[in-house]
Amino acid sequence: MELINPHLIQINATFENKHAIFESVCNLLEAEGRLSNRQQFLQDLHQREESAPTALGHLFAIPHAKSKGVKQASLVFIKLKDEMEWTETEKAQYIFAIAVPEKDAGDKHLEILAMLARKMM
């Protein structure tokens, strides 16, 4: 399986908050059979975001989690119809959500972040 496919992309989506976005990310991954424990991954996404917000500026956010609830490293892309508040000081419209199995956390997570950084440049 590839890291991302057309079923893991949403364009012109509307959500009320980050929690709704995280729920949608889980729905997309679950529909593709990429999660072993949806609640665990959702919890890990929220915990990671609480430890340090993932907004990068320029309307980009990269929420991510290394989780026992993930079966396969995956990338979800969501383009919001309108920008939304991500933190008190940052807005987001382009969301790249990264899901990595806990056992692959080190290298795979960094590989995906590096690939995204190159593509965004």
The reply to whether the predicted model has a pTM over 0.75 is: yes
Token pair in block for residue 59 = 């309307």
pLDDT tens-place string over residues 20-32: 999 999 999 999 9
Token pair in block for residue 65 = 């989690």
> Which residues, 6 or more positions from 41, have their beta carbon under 8 angstroms from its beta carbon?
26, 29, 35, 65, 67, 69, 70, 99
User: Is residue 34 a contact partner of residue 71, using CB atoms and an 8 Å limit?
Assistant: yes
Burial class (CB in 10 A: 0-12, 13-18, 19+), 2: exposed
pLDDT tens-place string over residues 50-94: 999 899 889 999 999 999 999 999 999 999 999 999 999 999 999
* DSSP reduced 3-state for 94: strand
